[in-house]
Amino acid sequence: MTDAPRSLAAALSGGPRSAIAALVALVVLLAAACGNTAIPPSAAATASATPSAAASRSAGPSATPKVDPAATALNGFVALVTKDGFSYQATFTGQSRHSTDIFPIRSGLLQVSGDDVLVRATWTLQGHRYPVEHRYVAGKAWIRYDTSDTWHRLTFKPADSMAAFASIRTKADVTYLGIVKSGGTTYYQVSFRSAIVNPVMIPARNLSEAVVTSPKLTLLIDASGRPVKGTAEIDGHGRVSGQLQEIVIDLTVTFTKVGQAVTIKAP
């Protein structure tokens, strides 16, 4: 046992790790010499396993994917407006701009029950007010240009419908524009093809061949997808006294009674 101190001193000169290894060896030798007892290897194994156990404890659960509120709103909107029998009401004001004139549009009302539609608005032309009304019921269309006027039949296809969401079938028909904050509330802005006022409603006797070319409704929806308010731009053209003119109808639209039943009857 006289050589042990010299071996320990030599090991210490090799650095801390060598010193520790030598110290462990010395303890083992002393124990073996005194008690002649075998040393189990479990202590060394336990020490070497400690880092991996700590690493296992440090590994936390995987992060839960975040829900996109914009996608939730958009999905809810499409599901709502494509639901069979969906009913709602909207009010609007605006103007109809022509090549030479601008006609105010006031007291606008849009009512929709499934495929049935009612549109009513007062137009001011040359100082005279015309309360124009359109109805589309069971695939048939009518219009009158004054309360004293008789109803006239219109040739209308389902694609000509003045319902706000008539062109939406899937999410692909809607363009997402981003987040808008108003009055402390977060809204989601979307746009899609929509003509809630067709140029055929302009009460001008010298207007003919009025058609819609590129209508668009830019709309704010809430977190659940309910329509709230928006602006419409309905581009078209028509012949005024035989002369072809561009027509642009600008509207501010507010949706009310969303999901509530409304009744629309044929004239």
pLDDT confidence bin for 62, thresholds 50/70/90? low
Q: How far is 39 from 179, CA to CA, in rounded Å?
A: 70
Q: Give me the sheet containing 102-113, strands edge to edge.
A: 152-154, 140-144, 128-137, 116-125, 102-113, 87-97, 243-256, 227-240, 207-221, 185-192, 175-182
Residue 239 — pLDDT band, cuts 50, 70, 90? confident
Q: SS3 of 267, please? A: coil
- CA 105/CA 101 separation, integer angstroms: 13
181, 220 in Cβ contact below 8 A?
A: no
Predicted pLDDT of residue 242: 77
Does residue 101 register a pLDDT over 80? yes
Between CA 201 and CA 234 the distance in angstroms is 12
Whole-number pLDDT of residue 57: 53
The string over 5-33, giving b where at least 16 C-beta atoms fall within 10 Å of a residue's C-beta and e elsewhere, is: eeebeebeeeeeeeeeebeeebeeeeeee
pLDDT, one tens digit per residue, over 120-130 is 999 998 889 99
Nearest by Cα to 212 from 229, 232, 230, 228: 232
Q: Provide the pLDDT for residue 211.
A: 87
Q: Quick one: pLDDT band at residue 24, thresholds 50, 70, 90? A: very low
Q: Which of 136-145, 237-246, 251-260 has the weakest average pLDDT?
A: 237-246
* Token representation of residue 133: 């009304």
What CA–CA distance (Å, rounded) separates 177 from 159? 25
CA distance 255 to 134: 19
Q: Is the pLDDT of residue 167 over 90?
A: yes
**In this predicted structure, what is the pLDDT of residue 66?**
84
pLDDT (0 to 100) of residue 60: 54
Which residue blocks in 160-245 are alpha helix, DSSP H?
A: none
Name the band, by pLDDT with cuts 50, 70 and 90, for residue 33.
Answer: very low
Per-residue model confidence (pLDDT) at position 68: 93
Q: Where in the chain is the domain with CATH 2.50.20?
A: 69-256
pLDDT of residue 80: 98
User: Does pLDDT of 38 surpass 70?
Assistant: no
Q: Please, is 77 exposed, middle or buried when counting C-beta atoms within 10 Å of its C-beta (0-12, 13-18, 19+)?
A: buried
CB within 8 A of 265, min separation 6: which ones?
135, 137
For tokens 């124009």, the residue is 132
CATH number given to 69-256: 2.50.20
Over 80: is that where the pLDDT of 233 sits? Answer: yes
Q: For the chain, what is the mean pLDDT?
A: 83
Structure tokens at 211: 């058609």
Place of tokens 């320990």: 8
Q: Over the stretch 2-20, which tens digit does the pLDDT of each residue have?
A: 444 444 444 444 554 444 4
Can you give the pLDDT at residue 90?
98
pLDDT tens digits, one per residue of 198-231: 999 999 877 888 889 999 999 999 999 999 999 9
Residue 63's pLDDT is 66
The answer to whether residue 182 scores a pLDDT higher than 70 is yes
**pLDDT > 50? residue 135:** yes
Q: Which residues pair with 125 in a beta bridge?
A: 128
Q: Give yes or no for a contact between 189 and 179, defined as CB atoms under 8 angstroms apart.
A: yes
